[in-house]
Every structure is written in C-alpha cells, then in structure tokens.
Amino acid sequence: MDGIDVALLKTDGGSVVQRGASAFYPYRPAMRELLATALEEAKEITSRNERSGVLKDAEKQVTLLHADAVNEFLSGQNLSSDDIDLLGFHGQTVLHRPDEALTVQIGHGQLLADKTRIATVFDMRANDMQHSGQGAPLIPVYHQALADNIAGEQSSESPVCFVNIGGISNITYVGDELLAFDCGPGNALIDQWVQRHVGISHDAGGAIAAEGKIDLAFVQSYLVDEFFDKPVPKSLDRNDFSVPEDSALGVETVARSLARVTAEGIIQSVKHLPRSPKLWIICGGGRHNPYIMKDLVELAEDMQSKVVSAEVAGFDGDAMEAEGWAYLAVRSNLGLQLTYPGTTGCSKAVTGGVIAKPK
C-alpha cells in the first residue's frame, strides 16, 4: 500500500543468484487513498476478473506507476529495456480468500509489457489455487535459494526461518524440508490504527509505540483467534484481523500492544514446524519497528534461538520481496515449480504465471 519496490536480479532460477541494485518509489497520498477505496470495493468481488468503477481505475494507475518506476530505475542504472530479459509483476493484492479459491491482484501485465518494452510475467498465484493451493506465500522457493548464501557466523545455523513482515507476516522454514505459511498480522493493524487516530500512514521507527506499554489482555484477545491453531499451510487476507474503532487504552498503548501481537504470532508459529529454528532472519518493513524486533528477540531467546535482520545475514530486507518476484518470473519462464505442497498446500508442485510480450 505504500509504494513500489524494484530490484535487479541475475539468476538461472536455481541456485545461482546475483543480487543487484534496488529502489523504492512511494505512492502519493492520493494513490494510497485510491487503493484504500479499491480494497473496500474488492470485498464484494465474486470473480477474480471482476473490474468495475474504482477497481478498474486503480488497476490502470497501479500499472502505469509500475511502468514509471521500472523506466526510472533503469535510467538510474544506465540500463535500457534491451538489457532486461523479464519483469516479474506482482501487482496489488486487493482480495485473498483461499478457502474460496479466490485471489485478486490488480495490475495489467500486457500494459506493463507495452509501456516498458520488456516481457512481463504476472498472475503467478492463480495456477497454485487451481491445484488446491492457498495461492500464498510464493516467496519460499527464493528463500530456499538464499539459505545457502547466509553471511557471517549465522551461516552454519539450521534450521532457519525467513520471516517477512509486510501487511501480513509469513515465514519460510528451510531445514530438512521446505515449509511456509502466513503466521499472523504484520504491519497492517499498526498502520490502520495510527492512520485512524493520528492521520499518518505508519508508526515510523515505533515512535508512537515508544510512548505506550504492552497490555497483555489486549494482546491475548488477538492470540485466541482460531487462525493461530489452524493447520498449515494457511494464508490470510489483510482484512481477516481488524483494529478496534477506539480503545480506552490510548493510541500509544494499542500501537505498542499490536507490535507484540505481530511478534507473538511469528514465534508461536513454531508449533507448526518440525523443529524449532536456530535462526530467524527478519525481512520486510516490520523489521524497522524496534518494538516488533525487541519482542521477537526476547521471545526467541526463550527457545534458545537467534533473531537477526536480513542485513546482518547479508541480504537486503527491503528488496527481498521484489528480488523474489524476479526469481519467480525466471522460474515461470523456464516452467519450473513456484509452489509446493509444503508451502501452499497445493496437490502437487506446480509452476504458474502468464507471460505478456510487448506489442
């Protein structure tokens, strides 16, 4: 909801991964408002190809802004479209109902290919859902490739969990087997809370949470949700959890307590894993919230495991999702599997994606 990540990757879709430059292009407030309206409208969707009113406009705007971001990025890297083989295009998720085999990402792959003059791979979730999968998460196969490239003293730790804290938190377990699932709220609840009560998009640096304290009863009211005990693989829509309209606890204490909810959801995911991870690598925007990180470190210590940011492990936690989508695009183009029974619950390992070539 906050903008577009672009990352450059050179890969064979297997174990060879050379990470390049990356950049972030924030949405203007008007675009964020348009997407928020589109999310509301999307709640009424019954078909994945349904586009009307605001959704249709939002899809076009999302696509054009992605084209602008790609072209600006390439210019900044002294590259041209001829230097790039493929774009991996995620688009903007506006609805995810895996139990109904329904997932909707707005973004027009053909239009992006035409505007950038680069072949574009998009719609990478649909085939998984057609094979009884959750359609998410898709990034685990990239995490598996990165696990052999962990830097420093952490390189020998196993098993390892990659944790992406975006609007929703998801984990990838890399050990004797590859497992992945959404494990609870990420930044979405905190973002919604401060947007509603402070009028800002997110709690930058945990500044609001810093003035509050953890209310254990409030935290527990989230952790009793049946989602946390639901068998894996499993995935979430950002609307599956919600913040209260108001609270006597105050803005600061709710923000601090929601950070704890995020951390608890992640650590409690251990009950769904074969073994307790020795190392947790934290990626995504949530790692910039010091209170989420503080709680993760404390909770992991109780299990004799270690929490580090992606950067400590030698990666770029902001670019990893965009890198992952580039990696998936290459695998899609080669007909390689994107998802597995252990990552999405699909009936068999499957590839996915649609390729649009510039006209």
CATH number of the domain bearing residue 183: 3.30.420.40
pLDDT value of residue 189: 95
pLDDT of residue 141: 96
For 3, 37, 61, 166, the CA distances from 318, given in Å and listed in that order, are: 12, 26, 23, 10
Is 191 a member of any domain?
yes
Whether residues 191 and 296 fall in one domain = yes
Low-confidence ranges of the chain (pLDDT < 70): none
Phi, psi of 10 (to 5 degrees): -115, 120
Q: How far is CA 112 from CA 152, 244, 291, in A?
A: 39, 38, 38
Residue 338 lies in a domain: no
Q: Domain range spanning residue 208?
A: 151-309
pLDDT (0 to 100) of residue 149: 82
pLDDT on residue 152: 74
The pLDDT value recorded for residue 181 is 93
Question: Does a structural domain hold residue 86?
Answer: yes
Is residue 8, in this structure, part of any structural domain at all? yes
The whole-number pLDDT of residue 8 equals: 98
Residue 158 has a pLDDT of 87
What single DSSP character describes residue 131? T
Task: Specify the pLDDT at position 315.
Answer: 94
Question: What pLDDT is stored for residue 156 in this prediction?
Answer: 72
**Inside any domain, residue 51:** yes
The pLDDT tens digits of the residues spanning 171-201 come to 999 998 999 999 999 999 999 999 999 999 8
Asked whether residue 92 falls in the same domain as residue 184, the answer is no
pLDDT of residue 155: 72
Do residues 67 and 156 both lie within one domain?
Answer: no
Same-domain check for residues 198 and 277: yes
The order of strands in the sheet holding 120-122 is 87-88, 120-122, 354-356
Tell me the pTM.
0.88
Contact 235, 134 (CB under 8 A): yes
Helix then strand count (H, E) for the chain reads: 11, 12
**CA proximity to 145, closest of 273, 16, 18:** 16
